[in-house]
Structure 1
Amino acid sequence: MAEFVLVPGAWLGAWAWDDVVPELRAAGHGAHPLTLSGLADKRGVPAGQQTHVEDIVAEVERLDLREVVLVGHSYSGIPVGQAAERIGDRLSHVVFVDSNVPAHGESFVSPWKEGRAMMEASIAANDGFWAPLTAPDYAGHGLTDEQIDRIVTASTPHPGATLTEPATLAKPLGELPATYVKCLLDGDEPSPDVALLLTGDRWRLVEMDTGHWPMFSQPRELARVLLAAAAS
């Protein structure tokens, strides 16, 4: 039996996995959606990027989980990638869902170049937080109006420090047993850093014909991808 620890991306909480969790549990596995510090029901808790790494590690240890499949969506691929190496032999597999991946010494905003200054200015203007997206931003991602409303209504501002602090990796990320899920409505190809990781023998690519939020647009299909990754 696998133990899935499901970590949502920016602005989201554990609630984002509500339609995926029943599919995993029905298949006989454990499913543990996690809200990161500073978000959703944990709003007001101070958080930097390493706080989010510790959130994940602490959850695995608190529940004494084994055969862990860490799942990171979007932003959370960065703390998930770091947590994966820190839980040692508890780890079975990592699944990066259309996500960023950590690079030692680099932050979420590091690759943004000109956009980095814009992001940092936005965070400064929003009292240290990254403001949630609005409904028009979700167009073209295979979501219904009801799904978009659900996301927008429940989203909370994302702690800015988690986006600007650098990642810390003790080993090359390519050594992790990993699956990368590319959502094709969010771009046909993985980013260059992910493409390089996929040339190794421990990473594999799975494509989904949906947008950046498959836990809402195609939860059953995503669950099947996660189950297949756990069995690999």
Structure 2
Amino acid sequence: MLHSLSVAWFTVRCMANFVLVPGAWLGAWAWDDVAGVLRDEGHDVYPVTLSGLAERRGQDAGQLQHVEDIVAVIEENDLREVVLAGHSYAGVPVGQAAGRIGDRLRRVVYVDSNIPTHGKSFVDGWSEEGQAWVRDQLEQSGGYWPPLTAEDYVGQDLSDESVALILERGTPHPGRSITEPAQLTRPIGELPTTYIKCLMDGATPSSSVAEQLTSPSWELVELNTGHWPMFSQPAALAKTLTEVNA
């Protein structure tokens, strides 16, 4: 009887609500393979399409609206034990949303992503040349950040089919979301956090991530794949998500 109760407790404790937020140019569809693995293991999964992207293209899409998008999914579904994961750009709104959902949060997971800094935007840490380049892109594209080209995905552990899918389904990213400053309600270093570094996109985390990793609340996990692990290694990424949640 005691053994049965222990197994039941362990099962309940390990089940989670995974809220998965894709990076620039992508919609909830980018998480399809990862979500399938997690659901097969009994978890509930809520992939998010941020305003202005994919099927929500044309909607108002500042970066703070993206924070609201994430919080709304969690609150409207009354989710608890939330593992909130953000890929690439999405780490910026995810880190802010995590601080707003209180005890609903179990863990934040940054998937090879940027992280938010209060008062700074996604592009504020870029070089002067990089910021000038993105401003020029936004100006030429009517306020949108154009999707990457096939050449940008070379060396990232992606199959030809995955690259073709990303190119086909990716949409221009709303420029205001990458230039609007973050507004943290709680320091991200206080939150239980896993940072997943994809080694084919650089062997070490950025200096801002390295600084946060000194917090006892943060841990680093490495994946030997490229910057888009939901396409290149979905099973490995899903396994990592479940392991950090255990």
TM-score (norm 2): 0.93
**Structure with bigger gyration radius:** 2
User: 1:185 maps to which residue?
Assistant: 200
CA RMSD in angstroms comes to: 0.6
What is the CA-CA distance between 1:121 and the residue it aligns to?
1.5
Count the aligned residue pairs: 231
User: 1:139 maps to which residue?
Assistant: 154
In the alignment, the residues of structure 2 paired with residue 18 and residue 173 of structure 1 have an alpha-carbon distance, to the nearest angstrom, of 28
What is the CA-CA distance between 1:113 and the residue it aligns to?
2.5
The alignment partner of 2:184 has SS state of coil
1:172 aligns with one of 187, 208, 213: 187
1:81 aligns with one of 72, 87, 95: 95
Q: How does 1:73-222 map to 2 (within 5 A)?
A: 73-114=87-128, 115-222=130-237
In the alignment, the residues of structure 1 paired with residue 57 and residue 121 of structure 2 have an alpha-carbon distance, to the nearest angstrom, of 22
What amino acid sits opposite 2:230 in the alignment? M
1:18 aligns with one of 28, 32, 47: 32
In the alignment, the residues of structure 1 paired with residue 48 and residue 185 of structure 2 have an alpha-carbon distance, to the nearest angstrom, of 24
How far does the alpha carbon of each residue in 1:163-217 deviate from its partner, in whole angstroms, 9 at most, with x for none?
Answer: 0000011222100100000000000000000001111100000000000000000
What amino acid sits opposite 1:40 in the alignment? A
TM-score (norm 1): 0.98
In the alignment, the residues of structure 2 paired with residue 80 and residue 106 of structure 1 have an alpha-carbon distance, to the nearest angstrom, of 15
After the TM superposition, which segments of 4 or more aligned residues of structure 1 sit over 6 Å from their partners?
Answer: none
What amino acid sits opposite 1:143 in the alignment? L
Contact conserved, 2:21 with 2:85, CA < 8 A, in 1?
Answer: yes
What is the CA-CA distance between 1:46 and the residue it aligns to?
1.3
Identity of aligned residues (%): 61
How far does the alpha carbon of each residue in 1:111-160 deviate from its partner, in whole angstroms, 9 at most, with x for none?
Answer: 01211121112111100000000111100000011110011110000000
In the alignment, the residues of structure 1 paired with residue 46 and residue 184 of structure 2 have an alpha-carbon distance, to the nearest angstrom, of 24
What amino acid sits opposite 2:71 in the alignment? V
User: 2:75 maps to which residue?
Assistant: 61
User: 1:49 maps to which residue?
Assistant: 63
The alignment partner of 1:110 has SS state of coil
Gap runs ≥5 in structure 2:
1-14
The alignment partner of 1:92 has SS state of strand
What amino acid sits opposite 2:31 in the alignment? W
